[in-house]
């Protein structure tokens, strides 16, 4: 399935935006993602209950920070 687009520009819908509002962004020049913590995967040692119920616990975590370095590359359009 192909992502929706208008004139070749990809569209992303979000419930966080007010209806009738559009954010146009050149994210390659507007934003930078900083890695705060490398991805890690951890498992629990478990105990009797985990072993008895055949349960394994895993946690995957990564910490990122988004910085807007060029606000002029973002444009908010409302009707």
**pLDDT tens-digit profile, the chain (79 residues):** 677 888 888 888 888 988 889 999 888 899 999 999 999 999 887 778 888 888 888 999 999 999 999 999 999 999 8
The predicted pLDDT at position 10 comes to 82
- Nearby residues of 8 by Cβ (< 8 Å), 6 or more positions away: none
What's the pLDDT score for residue 37?
93
> Residues 63, 28, 23, 72: is their CA dihedral positive or negative?
positive
Q: What is the CA radius of gyration of the chain?
A: 21
Instruction: Look up tokens 């951890």; give the residue.
Output: 42
pLDDT at 75: 93
**Confidence (pLDDT) at 32:** 95
Task: Judge residue 59's burial from the number of C-beta atoms within 10 Å of its C-beta, 0-12 exposed, 13-18 middle, 19 or more buried.
Answer: exposed
């Amino acid at each position: 399935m192909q992502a929706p687009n208008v004139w070749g520009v990809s569209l992303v819908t979000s419930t966080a935006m007010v209806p009738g509002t559009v954010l146009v962004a050149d994210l390659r020049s507007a934003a930078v993602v900083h890695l705060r913590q490398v991805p890690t995967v951890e498992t629990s040692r478990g105990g009797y209950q985990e072993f008895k119920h055949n349960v394994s616990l895993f946690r995957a975590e990564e910490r990122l920070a988004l910085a807007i370095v060029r606000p002029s590359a973002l444009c908010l359009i409302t009707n």
